[in-house]
Amino acid sequence: MGKEKNPRRVAENEAMAKTRMLRTSPQKLNLVAAMIRGKKVDKALSDLTFSKKRIALDVKKCLQSAIANAENNHGLDVDELVVAEAWVGKNLVMKRGRPRARGRFGKIMKPFSEITIKVRQVEEQA
């Protein structure tokens, strides 16, 4: 007599993770996301580990979360996972300011963004 189970948002061979409120602009975050799109997860993790971008550490945590979701929640094989999609979205913007000359006020925008990573299990061709 209970409620119906919610349908999955991703396919049977996919898993997803999302990180919100990352303190960087979406434009900068998208550079890191583009770096890992379409790569195997072990290669993407090593690229993020040795990246000089500050936000790469948070993207790496999100990717590790997607891998853990694939393994534990959906029973997928970690060795066959590929970063299928990685997209970036805007979040809130903190408005700050600084007094400037002649009574003016300089606006300082501090943007936040979010990243969603989807991993997919792909069988290797022999």
d(CA 24, CA 125): 38
HEC letters along the chain: CCCCCCCCCCCCCEEEEEEEEECCCHHHHHHHHHHHCCCEHHHHHHHHHCCCCCCHHHHHHHHHHHHHHHHHHCCCCHHHEEEEEEEEEEEEEEEEEEECHHHCEEEEEEEEEEEEEEEEECCCCC
pLDDT digits (tens, 9 = 90+) for 22-55: 999 999 999 999 999 999 999 999 999 999 999 9
Name the domain count of the chain. 1
pLDDT tier, 126 (very low <50, low <70, confident <90, very high otherwise): low
Q: What is the pTM of this model?
A: 0.91
Confirm whether 105 is domain-assigned: yes
Q: Residue 15: pLDDT band by 50, 70, 90 thresholds?
A: very high
Domain that holds residue 38: 14-121
CATH at 103:
3.90.470.10
